Structure formats: C-alpha cells, structure tokens
Structure 1
Amino acid sequence: MSDPLNYIELHKKEILQTYQDLHAIAEPSWQEQQTSCYLQDQLSSAGLSITTYNGHHGFIAEIAGRTKGVIALRADMDALVQEVDGEVIANHSCGHDAHSTMALYTALALKNSETDLHHTIRFIFQPAEELAEGALQMMKEGVLEDVLFLGGLHVRPHTEVPFGKSAPAILHGSSATIIGTITGTPAHAARPEEGNNPIEAASFLIQSLRQIRLPGNKKFSIKITELHGGETSNSIPASARFTLDVRAETNETMDALLKKARHIIQHTAALTETKIAYEEEGYSPAATENATAIQLAQQAIGSVLGEENIDGPCISQGAEDFHFYTWKTPEIPATMIGLGCDLKPGLHHPQMSFNTDALIYGAQILTQLLLNADREL
C-alpha cells in the first residue's frame, strides 16, 4: 500500500490538465453530459464501480470496503449560464470544475494506492447545484443509503478564507425567491381615477417589506430584484411582475421571514384593492454545524496544511444545495470544507480565477478527511 496523499503530489500535472479539460466543457444544470462522461471514464478505468441514473447525468462511484457502512464525498458538476465578454454562455465561475477535479483525484488516490478501507467510499457527482435541485434529486436516487459521514468542499473568495488555509465548515445561510404578479385595473393616464395602478401597489409592497423586523437581531434580507410593468408613458398598466430575493442566517429565521412576507403581500393586496398571485421558488436551507464532522475536517486540514492554517468556520452570505443533505438527514455527520485559494474577484463573477496550486492540497485534504472518517466512525 502506498501513500494516497503522495499519489496526489506525484500527479500535479494530470490534476491541472483535468481541471483545464473540465473548465473547457462547462455545461449548465441538468446538461452535464460531457462532464459526467469524462469523470466516469477515468473512474471506471481505475476500477471504481459506477452507478448512473435515468433522466439526469448525476452518478456515484464507489471503492468497496470491508463493511456495508459508507463514507461519502459530494462534488457538483454544473456551470452557470451568464454573460461573458458580451456572450451568454455556460461558464465555470463557481468552481464546480475544481470540485469535480479534486473529488476525482481523491478517488484515484485511494484506489491506486490500494488503501485498506474499513468502509465503502462513495463519491457523489451531483448535477444542478446552481438551481438548488441536484441534491434533492440525488437523495431521491438513494445516494445516502448506509452513509455514516458526508463531506464536501467549496473554493472560497480571498476575502473569506486566505490562500494556504482552509475552514472546516462553510456556514451558508438560507435563501429563497418569491415571484409574483400584481393585477390592477388599466386606464388612461389622464384619468387615473378610472384605474388601479399595480406599479403603485408594488411600491407600497416594497416599502412595507423594508419595515420587517424580527426579534433577537437576527440577520436577514428581503429585497426586490425585478419589477416590470407598463409599455407606454400614457397608460396605467393592467399588471406588474416582481421578484424578491429572500435570505436568512438560519432556517428558523427564514421561516419567520417568509411568514411575515406572506402577510405583507396579502395586506398589500387588500389595502390597494389589487390581486397578487405569487410563488415561492428556489429554496435552499442554511447550513447546520456538526461537531463530529467539523473535528474530522479540522484534523484533515491540520494534517495537510499544519494546525496554524486551520481557519475558523467560514460564514457566507451565499447559498448551497449541499445543505439539503443535512437538512433532510440531520443524523448524518456532514460538513463542507472552505478551501482558501486566492479566488478573485469573487464567486459567480464571469472573470473568476484562483490559484490552481490549491487543487493539490484541496485533494489531499479531502483524501485525509475520508481516511479519518473511515478510521474513526
């Protein structure tokens, strides 16, 4: 048996090439066919067993252990669709290509080093994280069956985790979207008393939402991000469409915030004598901290980077569908490591870049994490 961490060190060039390959074939959510096939080919060639599913490109790869229990690692595969240099394309500006690369070489390192494993090691390659739909789909496929531990990793902006350091947990908040239509009564702008302006109702709604307060100084935000109504300067429109971005530090705060938002929408409709139809979409739960999982991650980071490079938990205002796994199965110890990699200007920026040296120690941290979980759970 050879050292799996050394395997990663010896394959730096291949890791960087894999990252470049995946970066070049960026594919949107639910369309990750090339990415999935690329990863499956390398994993199956190394002797891992592959399980695919109907209707999407997510899959799992496994290294058999001596027992039925499973230690799992999740990586996402999809890219964003955004405008880059004037062209709307699929673009890896959230680092999912990096996550898949590190998970792939973690698997190859454990397999090729012939590591003696107590548990089965399962690698979950997940589609559609950007739509907050992939984790739920993979759970429907049964990928958490027999899982005793679940790990993940996400590259972090330089402002959150410094290069050369890693955080044992990323504490994302909860997010949701409210999409609605306000229906009023159209009229000539010269005779406004004959109509009922939905844009004015939208203005009242916006101001009312700004007045929301929650006890205990809980952190949250609810803001309008889209408002469309009217086509001409001299007519009151029949309707106006709006979108609200909703975020909260915890799931409990999100529940309270959505309850208040629903009440305000109903109150606005009654007060302005309009009809407001709306839907809540894109819900992502907040992270939950698990002491066992965080300790395993701290040990892994310390082993690879030194204890002085264990950063504190990374608090992020963003969202991540990894937390559906913990929200739905809180009994499974799970954590998502935050990888410091000098990422600039920021996640989802069309020109996002990072120091690819982090791919090497990131894969080593993931490998050590799985070894620690295999030994201690």
Structure 2
Amino acid sequence: MDPIEFIEAQRNTIFKTYHDLHQLAEPSWKEEKTSRYLQKKLSDAGYMVQTFSGHYGFVADLPGENPEVIALRADMDALVQEVGGVVRPNHSCGHDAHSTMVLMAALSLYKSNIKLKHSVRFIFQPAEEVAGGALKMMEDGALKNVKFLGGVHLRPSFEVQYGKAAPVILHGSTTTLKGVIKGIPAHAARPEEGNNPIEAASLLIQAMKQIKLGGVGRYSIKITQLHSGEASNAIPENARFTFDLRSETNEGMELLISKAKHTVHKIAELTETKIDIVMDEYSPAAVKHPEGIRLAESAISSILGNENLVSKCVSPGAEDFHFYTLKNQEIHATMIGLGCDLTPGLHHPNMKFNHEALVYGTKILTKLLIEADQHNWD
C-alpha cells in the first residue's frame, strides 16, 4: 500500500494513539511510560529500537540501501502546570501530537514496504521543555550519519491557520538569568546598619531595561521573578531574581547575555552587594537550511496544495530542536509549523486543536521523508 493511503486508512489509530499519549503526560526526564508505549508500537511493527542509559529517549532505525541517514525528531515530555487548581503534567505544547505523527510516519513507511535509498531514523527525545533533551540525544549519538533532519510543531491559529503549514519555524533564542543578591540584614528601624538587597534589585531591574542592542533584530530582557524577605519590619539578607532574555538571532543573544552580565557586575559594585548569577534553560535560535526548507515546501504543497503553503512561521518562543542544527550545521534540517486551529495558545493549560491536523501532519512528514530519501546528500 502507498504510505499516504496507509495513513488515510489509519485515521482512527492516529486519533487513539494521540489520546493514549495525551493521557500519559509525563514531565521532563520522567517520560518512562510514554517512551515504553512508543517503543512497543515500533518494535511490534519490526523496527530496531535503541535505548540509552540515564534517560528515556530512544531511536528507531529502518535500514536502507546505504548507511546515510535521513531522520525525523519528536519530543515526548509534558509541561508541569496548574490545571483547574491542581499542579500536574499537562500536554499543552503538543508533544503528544508530535510523537503521534512521527510514530505514524514510521509505521507508514514500514508497512508500505517502500524501497529506500537511505536509512531512516526516528528520534524520540526527552526533556525539550527544559532545553536539555536534544543535547543529551546528540551526546548519545542520535545524529550519527544523519544528512537530513526534520521536525514538526503545532502552531497557534494566529501564526498558521488550520489546513495550512509552514516549511520552517523561525524560533528565537531564549535563556534565563537567575541570581541572588546578598546584602546585610538589619532591623527596619536601623536601616543604616544593613544593606538592602531589595533596593539593589530595584536598581538592577531599571538598569536591565536600559540595555540597547543594534543590528541584531528583535530582543527583550524582563524581570519575571523577585523574592525577598519574610518580615515586614526587617531588612532581608538576600533577594532572588530571574530575568527572561530573548533574541531572534543567536548573535543577538550572545550580545544580550554579555551586556546583562556586565550590568549585574556594575550594580553589584554600585550597591556594594554580592550578586551571584547563573544562565539557565538556554535554547538557540533557528539556523535556516535552504535545502531542508525547499523539501518541506514540496512536501506541504504535495499534501495540502500550493495555496496552503505559508512561507514561514516566525515565533518568539524557543525550541531545543535548534541545538541539533546549531551544533551540526552540516546537517540539512527544518521544523515544519503545522496549522491546526490551536487555541488559545501554546502552554495555555486549556490548549486544544483540531485533531484532523494529525492526519495531514503525518502525511506531510511521510512525504518529506520520501522526498529527502530521493535527494543526493553528497
């Protein structure tokens, strides 16, 4: 059977698979049941599955005529957030949908007995939400012999409309700057005996707002957390803060981080406090690969028609998929932005989308692999 016809015949299986994965919903680095579910589906179909120690990520390979590899990546983890007053893992970023589509693309290729020039690898990755999974999968060799890497992400309606898709998502770079300001505690009646870290934090917030960059595209830096003090009549010893940093380019992020660190140093000097900082949860901006984008354009047009091809999806959000391309720029890669009537937005605890997109999304990914297989990657 033709792979696309197979997918159409498996509509109910696709929807059930999504439902199963949605119910499992496990946080970063704890995707045990999700991983086992996916592994079993692939192993039962005949795939060779390779697991790794220390995490639940895995790869499934379909050998071709030569050892060069074309690959698809899916993320498996859920967010931990408050839903209806209860804090729990919740699939509000679509990773359950991504795993469903990549799994079904794998099954469609295997069941159709299509003859492949290249080997095909399906990468199921943990811990995207904490920007650690891609790095771990690379460390374990998931990209060995990979020439092309594709990905997919559901998009909100205001970015890509239902029934449409974009051949590339231009995510920006993001990181968090976390720190502790150490002052000198004192009674509020004798402030001259202390050094108030909250006052230093106030100056730091205002100084960060004055950072200016030029020629690197859009960027932002803003305070997102500030915690200090327990008593109303005492100057606290410490203040803990977090800043969110974003830039649409990797070059801009490097400059933004440098200026933020310089600002922290200057405020520490000015206020005579000690400020310890760490950079956390870094994700790079997208690296564009024209050949990967061209193949995605062709796959989208083939399944949805030229009229439903969106040139690009620009997102201020982040994706650790781009670690694969930033650190392996010889690999041709792209992430497809899938329109799916997603509302009210990604990471909203009540996010929902039209499940019909799972069917045409799987078809696009399968077609992308078939076209990548026909390409000469020498």
Give the TM-score taking structure 1 as reference length: 0.99
In 2: Cα distance, 1:158 partner to 1:215 partner:
31
Verify: 1:7 aligned to 2:6, yes or no: yes
Query: 1:331: Cα distance to partner?
Result: 0.6
Q: CA deviation at 1:218?
A: 2.6
CA distance in 2, matches of 1:333, 1:132: 21
| Structural mapping, 1:174-189, within 5 Å | 174-189=173-188
Give the aligned partner of residue 247 of structure 2: 248
1:290-309 aligned at under 5 Å gives the runs 290-309=289-308
Q: Which residue does 1:346 correspond to in 2?
A: 345
- 1:31 is matched with which residue? 30
Secondary structure at 1:69's aligned position in 2? strand
Higher mean C-alpha deviation, range 215-224 or range 29-38? 215-224
Q: 2:8 is paired with a residue of what secondary structure?
A: helix
Q: Which amino acid aligns with 2:217?
A: K
SS of 1:352's equivalent in the other structure is coil
CA distance in 1, matches of 2:95, 2:313: 18
**Aligned-residue offset at 1:92:** 0.4
Residue 224 (str. 1) matches residue 223 (str. 2): yes
In 1, the alpha carbon distance for the partners of 2:213 and 2:222 equals 15
Match of 1:103 in 2: 102
Q: Distance in 2 between matches of 1:147 and 1:50?
A: 17
| Matches of 1:42 and 1:191, distance apart in 2 | 68
Query: Would you say the 8 A contact 2:164–2:308 is kept in 1?
Result: yes
How much has 1:217 moved relative to structure 2? 6.5
After TM superposition, the runs of 4+ consecutive aligned structure 1 residues lying more than 6 A away are: none
Q: Is residue 194 of structure 1 aligned with residue 216 of structure 2? A: no
The residue type equivalent to 2:180 in the other structure is T
Identity %: 60
Name the residue aligned to 2:130.
Answer: 131
Residue deviations 1:41-99 (CA, integer Å, cap 9, x gap) = 11111111111111111100111100010000000001011110010111100000000
Range 210-219 or range 367-376, more displaced: 210-219
Gaps of 5+ in 2: none
Aligned to 2:274: 275
Alignment of 1:81-96 (within 5 A): 81-96=80-95
Return the TM-score normalized by structure 2.
Answer: 0.99
* Larger displacement relative to structure 2 (294-303 or 175-184): 175-184
Aligned ranges 1:114-153 → 2 under 5 Å: 114-153=113-152
Tell me the secondary structure at the aligned position of residue 277 of structure 1: strand
CA offsets, 1:239-265, max 9 Å, x none?
Answer: 111011111110000000011001100
Structure 1 residue 193, shift from structure 2 partner: 1.4
Report the counterpart of residue 257 of structure 1 in structure 2: 256
Between the aligned partners of 1:374 and 1:261, the Cα distance in structure 2 is 45
Provide the rounded CA distance (Å) in 2 between the counterparts of 1:319 and 1:103: 20
Task: Report how far residue 234 of structure 1 moved.
Answer: 1.1
Structure 1 residues 263, 218: CA separation in 2 closer, same or farther (over 3 Å shift)?
A: same
Q: Tell me the number of residue pairs that the alignment of Structure 1 and Structure 2 aligns.
A: 376
CA RMSD of aligned residues (A): 0.7
Counterpart residue number, 2:310:
311
Aligned to 1:19: 18
Residue 267 (structure 1) shift: 0.2
Distance 2:238 2:178 in 1: 14
2:322 corresponds to which residue? 323
User: Contact 2:216 / 2:252 at 8 angstroms: preserved in 1?
Assistant: no
Q: Which amino acid aligns with 1:349?
A: H
Runs (5+) with no aligned partner, structure 1? none
Quote how far apart the aligned CAs of 1:216 are: 2.4
Distance 1:187 1:24 in 2: 51
- 1:102-128 Cα offsets, whole Å, 9 max, x none, are 001100000000001000000000001
Aligned residue for 2:226, secondary structure, equals: strand
The one-character-per-residue Cα deviations of 1:9-32 (angstroms, maximum 9, x if unpaired) are: 000001000000000111011111
